[in-house]
Structure 1
């Protein structure tokens, strides 16, 4: 096995793992395949990730975190009014999920399998997303734009109400004609209900 001259990092391992999962799928991908793709021994991979399960969990978390990071800029933009931030956040989440499902269907299918294996990672992801929504709603309440006695509860309800546009189990519907209009109708309804 030819050794690579580039330092082996967790990030390099995760990127290689994504490539291996894309090629082989979750059932056939092994740590040996990842090591081979990196030009290192499988023991080197295990020094960063103690088990195959830990590696699969880390790569899934990395994949989900990309969505959270993309949305965090919208949350932080307090120059925008809360209603347009909330609308933009919902639209960006829908766009991110559609992109993942449509642009890389093999990896999306792989992650659907992995997500079923690592529910704690999914729970953290959902908590992060609803936390972002809570921040926007709290800001709206402070500015007198939204009415909510419990912003965290409202955030979770809004997240659940828009599930059709971000829950991967609905991915087949995301390319249907009229889906954007349906999305806008749901968001409009929710915003009307939130207004102070």
Structure 2
């Protein structure tokens, strides 16, 4: 824990906000509650966040950003497009499941907070779609995928696989048959997207 004379930064505010939410739930994601946990005045916290809504948006944005680096890394590779697209979604699913297991309190709170942080959630989904679209675009160019609209197709795949990675379905992830269902859905999607033997 930081000492009382540690400079108050936005990073400290958000780390403390996450801890408060983890311990007491999303209702405590307020400037006053975070200030109490930091041992400072709420005025000091207001120098970094203007409102409770902004504080919650920043917490959601930080949580979402932490899921992205491994996904960006997969999308940036030059592996064959069908394998890369599958790995992109495999990694997305693994990241979400790991966070649900490792930090269940914050994961559950994120679901509640994200419902109010609509612009942040939309930006997160938008980046996921663009990462998938970049892989699809490459696959169309090299002939592995049919001639499709990359963005619309990426959005359709994201929504078609939402049961396996969207936090609203987290309770279903303990189902022992869920990976079989994911594989079946993926094969069906790739039958529509891939040319020739690329779907295997």
Query: Same fold per TM (> 0.5)?
Result: yes
Runs of 4+ in 1 over 3 A off after TM superposition: none
Which secondary structure state, in structure 1, belongs to the residue aligned with residue 67 of structure 2? helix
Match of 1:11 in 2: 11
- In the aligned structure 1, how far is the partner of 2:57 from the partner of 2:47? 16
Match of 1:35 in 2: 35
Please state how far the C-alpha of 1:36 moved relative to its aligned partner: 3.0
- In the aligned structure 2, how far is the partner of 1:82 from the partner of 1:8? 45
- In the aligned structure 2, how far is the partner of 1:152 from the partner of 1:58? 27
Please state how far the C-alpha of 1:3 moved relative to its aligned partner: 7.0
Q: Tell whether the 8 Å contact from 1:3 to 1:39 is kept in structure 2 after alignment.
A: no
Q: Tell whether the 8 Å contact from 1:86 to 1:133 is kept in structure 2 after alignment.
A: yes
For structure 1, which segment, 53-62 or 166-175, has the greater mean C-alpha deviation from structure 2 after superposition?
166-175
- Aligned pairs (5 A) from 1:70-149: 70-78=70-78, 80-149=79-148
- In the aligned structure 1, how far is the partner of 2:52 from the partner of 2:90? 35
Instruction: Give the number of aligned pairs.
Output: 194
- In the aligned structure 2, how far is the partner of 1:98 from the partner of 1:16? 24
Match of 1:24 in 2: 24
Provide TM-score, normalisation by structure 2: 0.90
Match of 2:198 in 1: none
Match of 1:59 in 2: 59
Instruction: Please list the CA deviations of residues 28-58 of structure 1 after superposition, one character each: whole Å capped at 9, or x if unmatched.
Output: 3432332233333221111010111100110
Please state how far the C-alpha of 1:100 moved relative to its aligned partner: 2.1
Q: Tell whether the 8 Å contact from 2:29 to 2:56 is kept in structure 1 after alignment.
A: no
Instruction: Please list the CA deviations of residues 44-101 of structure 1 after superposition, one character each: whole Å capped at 9, or x if unmatched.
Output: 11101011110011001111122223310000112x1111111111111111111222
- In the aligned structure 2, how far is the partner of 1:195 from the partner of 1:138? 12
Stretches of structure 1 lacking an aligned partner (at least 5 in a row): none
Please state how far the C-alpha of 1:120 moved relative to its aligned partner: 1.2
Backbone CA RMSD of aligned residues: 1.7
- In the aligned structure 2, how far is the partner of 1:28 from the partner of 1:127? 28
**Cα distance 1:182–1:58, how it changes in 2: closer, same or farther (>3 A)?**
same
